[in-house]
Amino acid sequence: MNIFKFFIRVFYILFLVFGFAFAHPIDPRYHTYGEMVDEMVSAVQRYPHICQLYTIGYTSFFHLPILAMKISDNPSLTEDEPRFLFNGVHHATEIIGVEVCLYMMHNLLSRYDTSPEVRAWIDSNEIYLVPMVNPDGHYINWNVVQDSWRKNAKDNNGNGIFDPWYDGVDLNRNYDFLWHLGDPNPSSREYRGLFPFSENETQAIRDLANRERFVFDICYHSDKDPRFGESVYYPWRWGNQYSPDYEHIRPIAESIAYRIINDMGSAPYTPIWGDATDGGLARNWLYYAIGTFPFTIEISTCYQPPGYRVDSICEKVMNGSYYLFKRILGPSITGHITDAVSGLPIPAEIRILEAYAPPETILPRYADSTFGRYRRILKPGYYTLQITAPGYETTQIESVGVSTSGPTRLDIQLQPIPGIKEEKIAKEPNVINSLVFPNFVKGKAKIHWQVKKPGRVILQVFNNSGKKVCTIFDDVLKPGEYVLDWDCRDKKGKRLSAGIYFLCLKHSPGLPQAVQKIVISPPQAD
């Protein structure tokens, strides 16, 4: 060890010892990570019929489990029900988020048998709680740099020890939406990380959201700046443009905010649109990529309210949070999209033309693949729906009414286009294991296939109406495995415009055909 590293380690040890000694102690009313785990495990043991505990990932430095609780009447099953996400502690110092989530957990579970309203919420929905997204940072905030640590504990400089002046990533700047606008300096409190979703913690939320496709999300934060505290943020303003769903999401944010009274008891919380250009935010990514209506509740006017006020604050926040269980029964359009011939569900894209934006603003909204269920939260009015899926006729339905009385239910059957459909080809005699990755293409797609017998292989791209756009490969191949890196350009070098396409693979003799859907998104700037 050289002399420089020796003094660095000595300084680090002194910092831990004396920094801890003079740190502001955390009120014992707040839960440590271990206490949170114990309470969640105890809840599952007491209410096994309505909740289940999952590990959705492991933290980046200490490899602690990131826990999620699912509350539903059949927690081990995936049902055709709306899904909600409530989460806390993206930022380590904002530990009130743990308390709000645990308060909700106890409040819902304990009242299932006594409150018809709570029973209906649990029976009709799937509710996910992730009280502590950032256990590593929470540990650092609790034990090392009390009351001030924001990031996780990522070892940015790779020296094997925690350096508070350099290490850590701001998890709420690490999501893949305008990530490049975040702070690239590792010493910054808002350091964005090496690349989008570089952190285990954000990967865990990403994977959970991609799987569950939440209708609503609330991310609990807290802020010591009175200008930003006691507020409810929602997506978004981007320059001089509001989000495509602004007129539908804003009234919900207002309803949440107006139900939560501030700490002084003098006024409700304030609804505020968030800025889309705050790069890498969880809220903005959930809306952009999943179609979730997400909200950030900035609780109180300090990071860690005094312990004696925690229960009162949690109770007030529940008044706003629980509104979402009522709003899901309000104005919206929902139903199933199925194949008109087979009756099987189709994960079709569904556009509300009055709230549509191209993929460079928000990604396409799809029905789920398990049930074909789609759900769009809307204000009362009349809307035009356009439904598309590879291999099916595009369907457009006009003047669909949405009233104040509840959801408009509209099941949709799509007619297959003759001669072109998405097929799996694992059983084809000549070509197997065709794969395009990723299915949502921002830069390049990796196309993999295997040839069993010699022959001509043709790869062609078709648009959503079934018209051939280009041929990207045409050659005679020997048996073997092949990989093609395709940059989404045609033979003339022109990049295809953003949208839905499908890739057709043919092989002689007889040219058996396989078609796989791809979605081309505009490439993001670095």
CA angle (274, 290, 245) in 5-degree steps = 50
Domains of the chain (ranges, CATH numbers): 3-327 (3.40.630.10), 332-414 (2.60.40.1120), 431-520 (2.60.40.10)
Q: Does 298 qualify as catalytic in the annotation?
A: yes
Looking at per-residue confidence, does 449 or 3 come out higher?
449
Q: What are phi and psi of 17, to 5 degrees?
A: -70, -55
Give residue 68's pLDDT.
98
3-state secondary structure labels for all residues of 405-428: CEEEECCEEECECCCCCCCCCCCC
Residue 428 has pLDDT above 50, yes or no: no
pLDDT category at 442 given cuts 50, 70, 90 is low
Residue 356 has pLDDT above 60, yes or no: yes
Looking at per-residue confidence, does 496 or 361 come out higher?
361
As a whole number, mean pLDDT of residues 330-359 equals 94
d(CA 525, CA 176): 12
pTM above 0.85, yes or no: no
Digit-coded pLDDT (tens) for 24-53? 678 899 999 999 999 999 999 999 999 999
Structure tokens at 420: 């072109």
CA nearest to 298, candidates 268, 321, 269, 322: 269
Beta bridge partners of 495: 489
Residue 465 has pLDDT above 90, yes or no: no
Residue 4 has pLDDT above 90, yes or no: no
As a whole number, mean pLDDT of residues 283-288 equals 96
As a whole number, mean pLDDT of residues 237-246 equals 93
Task: Kindly tell me the sign of the dihedral angle through the C-alpha atoms of 101, 176, 93, 249.
Answer: negative
Digit-coded pLDDT (tens) for 409-424? 999 999 988 754 444 4
Long-range CB contact pairs, 481-485, < 8 A, 24+: 481/433, 481/448, 481/449, 481/450, 481/451, 482/448, 482/449, 482/450, 482/451, 482/457, 483/446, 483/447, 483/448, 484/446, 484/447, 484/448, 484/459, 485/444, 485/445, 485/446, 485/447
Distance, CA of 329 to chain centre: 22
pLDDT category at 509 given cuts 50, 70, 90 is low
- The proportion of the chain whose per-residue pLDDT surpasses 90, expressed as a percent, equals 64
pLDDT category at 292 given cuts 50, 70, 90 is very high
> What value does the mean pLDDT of the chain take?
87
Residue 163 has pLDDT above 90, yes or no: no
Beta strands 65-71; 51-58: pairing state: antiparallel
Give residue 162's pLDDT.
87
pLDDT category at 18 given cuts 50, 70, 90 is very low
pLDDT category at 433 given cuts 50, 70, 90 is very low
- Residues 9 and 17: beta-carbon distance below 8 Å: no
Digit-coded pLDDT (tens) for 375-411? 999 999 999 999 999 889 999 999 999 999 999 999 9
> Exactly one of 212, 298, 349, 428 is catalytic; which is it?
298
- The proportion of the chain whose per-residue pLDDT surpasses 70, expressed as a percent, equals 87
- Residues 273 and 311: beta-carbon distance below 8 Å: no
CA nearest to 331, candidates 234, 247, 258: 247
Lowest mean pLDDT among 159-163, 234-238, 426-430: 426-430
pLDDT category at 318 given cuts 50, 70, 90 is very high
d(CA 451, CA 431): 5
Give residue 13's pLDDT.
41
d(CA 25, CA 147): 8
Residue 508 has pLDDT above 80, yes or no: no
As a whole number, mean pLDDT of residues 223-232 equals 85
pLDDT category at 146 given cuts 50, 70, 90 is low
- Residues 402 and 385: beta-carbon distance below 8 Å: no
